[in-house]
Chains A and B, each alone.
Chain A
Amino acid sequence: EAGVAQSPRYKIIEKRQSVAFWCNPISGHATLYWYQQILGQGPKLLIQFQNNGVVDDSQLPKDRFSAERLKGVDSTLKIQPAKLEDSAVYLCASSKGQVTYEQYFGPGTRLTVT
């Protein structure tokens, strides 16, 4: 089966610009996650969707980050305006359900803010 798809793979922007990332989860997976991974650290959960509803967004900086999952399939994560400290890899993952053990991760989008 096809894995989690993400685009773009790389993005370079200047601070105060906006950027959007796209994720297509594995077909049939109800739960979708966005993680931020800063260099040298483990991934940190930003937001979790169950179908098209938000389960957990406690770590999402809501003044500049937003995410949506229309129709419970694809998802987009947006940053507006970007700061230097947003430079990181943004990972999307999906799983069959909220308490399913295995999360499948995409390759990530590497964002550099200059």
Chain B
Amino acid sequence: DAKTTQPPSMDCAEGRAANLPCNHSTISGNEYVYWYRQIHSQGPQYIIHGLKNNETNEMASLIITEDRKSSTLILPHATLRDTAVYYCIVRGTGATNKLIFGTGTLLAVQP
């Protein structure tokens, strides 16, 4: 079972920041938080990951709370092409630790 809880859907206006929350209250000390997204009819795409520090790359920023029980993915300037299902996944670093996808959040960017 997925170890994360996400809202099933969210809306965002084009050009505005999209903030996608994720709850992972049972996360262990050596588990990372990953974000993937899946645009309609495509395979999932990696976005970002983090352990306890905030992370930023060319796609997004990841803010993890100090107690690590929740995180927020931020798309700073959402475009229509960001409309997708966003998956928040908790994963350990062992060789057999798998990506366990939940049902994610469907982000709809509105023009």
Interface residues of B in 36-89 (CB under 8 A from A): 41-46, 49, 87
What number of residue pairs across chains A and B have CB atoms under 8 A from each other? 53
Contacts of A98 in B (CB 8 A): 95-96
How near does chain B come to A42, taking the closest CB pair, in angstroms?
Answer: 3
Contacts of B96 in A (CB 8 A): 48, 55-56, 98
How near does chain A come to B95, taking the closest CB pair, in angstroms?
Answer: 4
Interface string of A29-72 (1 = CB under 8 A from B): 00000000000111111001010000110000000000000000
Q: State how many residues of chain B have any CB contact under 8 Å with chain A.
A: 23
**Bound Cα distance from A98 to B3, whole angstroms:** 20
State the majority secondary structure of interface residues on B: loop
Q: State how many residues of chain A have any CB contact under 8 Å with chain B.
A: 23
Interface residues of A in 59-114 (CB under 8 A from B): 91, 93, 98-99, 101-108
Q: Considering only CB atoms, which chain B residue lies closest to A42 in the complex?
A: B101
Chain B positions near chain A (C-beta within 8 angstroms): 2, 32, 34, 41-46, 49, 87, 93-104
Whether a CB of chain B sits under 8 angstroms from the CB of A4 is yes
State the majority secondary structure of interface residues on A: loop
Contacts of A42 in B (CB 8 A): 2, 87, 101-104
Contact B32 A101 (CB under 8 A): yes
Contact B101 A43 (CB under 8 A): yes
CB < 8 Å neighbour of A101 from B49, B87, B94, B101: B49
Contact B43 A93 (CB under 8 A): yes
**Bound Cα distance from A99 to B99, whole angstroms:** 11
Chain A positions near chain B (C-beta within 8 angstroms): 4, 40-45, 48, 50, 55-56, 91, 93, 98-99, 101-108
Contact A41 B43 (CB under 8 A): no
**Bound Cα distance from A99 to B49, whole angstroms:** 13
Contacts of B94 in A (CB 8 A): 99
**Bound Cα distance from A88 to B43, whole angstroms:** 13
13 residue pairs from A and B, CB less than 8 Å apart: A42-B87, A42-B102, A43-B99, A45-B100, A56-B98, A93-B44, A103-B44, A103-B46, A105-B42, A106-B43, A107-B43, A108-B42, A108-B43
Not counting A101-B34, A107-B41, a sample of 10 additional A-B residue pairs whose C-beta atoms are within 8 angstroms of each other reads A4-B43, A42-B87, A42-B101, A43-B99, A44-B101, A93-B44, A101-B49, A103-B44, A105-B42, A108-B42
